[in-house]
A = this chain, B = another copy of it.
Amino acid sequence: MFELQLEPVQEGCDSHTSASGCTIFLGYTSNLISSGVRESIRYLAQHRMVDVIVTTAGGIEEDFIKCLAPTYLGEFSLKGKELRQQGINRIGNLLVPNDNYCKFEDWLMPILDQMVLEQKTEGTHWTPSKMIHRLGKEINNPDSVYYWAYKNDIPVFSPALTDGSLGDMIYFHSYKNPGLVLDIVEDIRHLNSKAVFAETTGMIILGGGLVKHHIANANLMRNGADFAVFVNTGQEFDGSDSGARPDEAISWGKIRMDATPVKVYADASIVFPLLVAETFAHNASRLIKEKKSD
C-alpha cells in the first residue's frame, strides 16, 4: 500500500523536475543514522535524490563517528551499569565504545580551531548548516551522508547542533579557544527560503520531534507541502507533534488541503529501506539522468 501511496510524491516530483524541480525535504532522527538506515540516506544524498536535509545533532555526529570507528550490534536488555563500567554506550540495540568519541574529538578539535580562526580573521558567520557543510568536506569519505551533502550542495539543517557530542566538544573547546558563534537566525532564513521559492515540495520525515516539526514549519511558509510521507511510531492521543497525523498539519497549512499525505505507522528501520528500494532506487536511472541534465 505505502509503495503505491508514495508514488504520487515520486511522480509528482518527476513531472515538475524537468521544468523547475520539486524540492524534497528529508528529515530523520539520530537513531536512524546509528542504524543501518544510514546507508539508504547516504544513497539518496549521493545521487542528489533529496534537496534539503534536517536532522538532530546526533544525526550529524554519528555519521562522522562511523567513519572513524564502527558501531556494534548489541541488545536492548544489556545492563547500563555494566556497559558504563566497560566504557560502552548503548543506543537502542546498538553499542558505541567511548573510544569512538575520543577519535571524534581528535578529529574535530583542529577543525574547531580553524573555524574560530576564520571567524576572527575572515569574519565567517558560522551557522549549524555551514558547520555541517565544512565537516562534510573535512571527513572526505564516501561512506558519509554529509560528505555527499557537501559534494552535491544539499543544505543540512540542525538548529540544535549543540545538543550532542558536537555540543560537548564545542563546550570543551570553548575553554581552550573561546569565541565561536553559531547563529541560528541565518539558518532559519535559509531553510524557509528553500520552501518559499520551491515550485513544489515534498516532505519525507522519519521519526518525530524537532525534525518533523522543523520541516513542516518551513513548509508553512509556502502554505503547505504538496506531498508528505511520515514514517514513525508516535500516536496522537498524547497531543504530541511527533504523533500527530498529517491531517493536523493540514489545519496549520503545513500540508496543502488538496494533498494526499501518508503516515506509515512503523519503525523506519524496517520500512524505509523498502520504500527507497521501490521508489528512488527503482527509478534511479531516470532520476539520475534528469538531475545530470539540469
Contact = CB atoms under 8 A, between A and B. Distances in A.
A267 B269 contact: no
A202 interface: no
A10 interface: no
Size bracket of the A interface: 35 or more
Most buried by B among A89, A162, A249, A255: A162
Interface string A160-188: 11111001101100100000111111011
Interface in A90-108: 90-94
Interface string A200-240: 00000001111001100100110000000000010111111
A222 B231 CA distance: 35
A154 B170 CA distance: 24
A265 interface: yes
A94 B248 CA distance: 11
A83 interface: yes
A217 B248 contact: no
A248 B241 CA distance: 24
Interface stretch (A28-36, A40-48, A279-287): A28-36
A84 interface: yes
A55 to B, nearest CB: 12
A139 interface: no
A29 B240 contact: yes
A80 B142 CA distance: 42
A192 interface: yes
A189 interface: yes
Contacts of A237: 76, 233, 235, 265, 267
Q: Choose among A56, A183, A244 the residue with the greatest number of B CB atoms under 10 Å from its CB.
A: A183
Contacts of A164: 213, 217
9 contacts: A80-B250, A90-B252, A159-B159, A159-B160, A207-B240, A209-B209, A238-B265, A266-B267, A270-B271
